[in-house]
Structure 1
């Protein structure tokens, strides 16, 4: 970052604090970067937020999985239908599990809420 390779991490943190840079590790489960033609999906990535003079910068360390935009898992008929609807199978499973609902009910709630997981769960509860 500042050419401090080999510097004591504690001393580096102290120097950054003196310079007015606040560093926070985030407990991120997944990071998705959407480009014009693909998605980069980082799972189990290290995410660090640096706040320097009111400007927030995020650093992601990990290996991304690359997938085409709008592509879901292409294993079975249910997955293909979900990809057509634009609702990822993982989202349907999360909503169904959290709300104690069937996959069909979860899919309908997600479609009604435009893919918003929290709103779909609230709708079913």
Structure 2
């Protein structure tokens, strides 16, 4: 934001305070972002920072969403409940092959093939998406 690469953190904090910017680390356990398209982002254990600059509050979340929940499937409650029947909530994998379902869907869509063909190509390339797509085209 201010180009403070390599600057002393204490000096950066002092400069921000002089400019009227107050920074506070929040002890957040979980952050849920509900989007308009219904794909909610759920962050567990993310680092959350609140900045107050002249009365305008800004929140920064550092971390990766642990799950993406489809609001039609119960939203964040479906993530918390661990609904194993909903593939949109399956951010790990879809079987013993260790290939994430999201990767299978991406390869199938890009290469214009079925999910089973995409999964086989991903298995042949040890999960390399680009190589799988190239092999199928």
Short-chain TM bin: 0.5 to 0.7
Matched residue, 2:14 = 14
Q: TM-score, normalised by structure 1?
A: 0.57
Q: Which whole-Å CA distance do the structure 1 matches of 2:84 and 2:48 have between them?
A: 30
Task: Structure 1 unaligned segments of length 5 or more: list them.
Answer: 77-125
| Residues 86-105 of structure 1 aligned to structure 2 (within 5 Å) | none
Q: Which whole-Å CA distance do the structure 1 matches of 2:69 and 2:7 have between them?
A: 38
- The SS at the match of 2:28 is coil
Deviation at 1:48, TM superposition (A): 0.4
Task: Structure 2 unaligned segments of length 5 or more: list them.
Answer: 86-137
Matched residue, 2:49 = 48
Matched residue, 2:127 = none
Deviations 1:61-88 (A, max 9, x none): 0001212112512249xxxxxxxxxxxx
| Residues 1-125 of structure 1 aligned to structure 2 (within 5 Å) | 1-36=1-36, 37-64=38-65, 65-69=67-71, 70-71=74-75, 72=78, 73-75=82-84
Q: TM-score, normalised by structure 2?
A: 0.53
- The SS at the match of 1:7 is coil
- The SS at the match of 1:6 is coil
Deviation at 1:7, TM superposition (A): 0.6
Q: Which whole-Å CA distance do the structure 1 matches of 2:24 and 2:60 have between them?
A: 10
The runs of at least 4 consecutive aligned structure 1 residues that moved more than 6 Å come to none
Q: Which whole-Å CA distance do the structure 2 matches of 1:34 and 1:18 have between them?
A: 35
